[in-house]
């Protein structure tokens, strides 16, 4: 099974969502919960890239703010679902995130990933590729679940995230912040968003830094 086909299988299990307006932007799995798109610090007309955008629901919320919303996802099933749901409002690309970043000539005011490609790609490979396409002063926001109470003494470590062949890079917030600094991102800051009352979901860690 290839990485692409693993993610295609995952995409088939995740519903496209109801018709109608996009759900409110969230860095968590709970629409509208916690801080929103303001963490991207962009104005109308800005160009924003999501890495591992799935079916593009968050991008659609940004497009409604007159942001140029660009997404890349390795899964053809995810991208087809996003195109069917959101049409030309989004610029969607089916590709590995690193491959896309290395081959595009575009530059972005903001780049983000929510449980997306940054969680499943060696950060020492991905972060330099992001930095090369982020405008000076642009913002990078990464959101993922807190690791399961494990303590690591080194950087984020690759671990299997379930059946199939996909690796997930897990690490404490300070380890991600160190990685960002090592790759010349500026002033990384961290916030933890706890799930809504009665949810059993894990907290979401959000890292924000500047190019």
Interface with ligand SAM (CB under 6 A): 7, 52-54, 72-75, 78, 96-97, 114-117, 120-121
Nearest to ligand SAM of 40, 136 (CB atom): 40
Shortest CB 153 distance to ligand SAM, Å: 26
Shortest CB 169 distance to ligand SAM, Å: 11
Shortest CB 72 distance to ligand SAM, Å: 6
Q: Are 138 and 130 within 8 A, CB to CB?
A: no
User: What whole-number distance in Å separates Cα of residue 158 and Cα of residue 171?
Assistant: 9
- Residue with the closest Cβ to ligand SAM? 52
Nearest to ligand SAM of 80, 137 (CB atom): 80
Nearest to ligand SAM of 18, 45 (CB atom): 18
Shortest CB 1 distance to ligand SAM, Å: 14
Nearest to ligand SAM of 25, 120 (CB atom): 120
User: What whole-number distance in Å separates Cα of residue 153 and Cα of residue 172?
Assistant: 9
Angle between helices 3-13 and 76-86 (to 10 degrees): 40
Shortest CB 128 distance to ligand SAM, Å: 15
Nearest to ligand SAM of 121, 175 (CB atom): 121
């Amino acid at each position: 099974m290839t990485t692409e086909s693993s993610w295609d299988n995952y995409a088939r299990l995740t519903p496209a969502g109801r018709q109608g307006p996009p759900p409110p932007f969230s860095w968590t799995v709970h629409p509208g919960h916690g801080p929103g798109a303001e963490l991207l610090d962009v104005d109308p007309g800005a160009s924003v890239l999501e890495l591992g955008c799935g079916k593009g629901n968050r991008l659609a919320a940004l497009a409604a703010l007159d942001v140029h919303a660009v997404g890349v996802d390795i899964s053809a099933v995810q991208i087809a679902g996003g195109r069917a749901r959101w049409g030309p409002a989004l610029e969607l690309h089916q590709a590995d995130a690193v491959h896309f970043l290395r081959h595009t000539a575009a530059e972005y005011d903001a780049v983000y990933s929510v449980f997306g490609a940054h969680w499943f790609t060696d950060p020492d490979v991905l972060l330099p590729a992001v930095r090369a396409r982020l405008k000076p002063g642009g913002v990078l926001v990464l959101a993922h679940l807190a690791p399961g109470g494990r303590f690591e003494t080194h950087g984020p470590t690759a671990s299997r995230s379930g059946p199939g062949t996909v690796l997930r890079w897990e690490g404490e917030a300070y380890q991600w912040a160190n990685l960002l600094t090592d790759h010349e991102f500026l002033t990384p800051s961290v916030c933890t968003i706890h799930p809504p009352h009665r949810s059993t979901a894990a907290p979401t860690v959000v890292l924000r830094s500047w190019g």
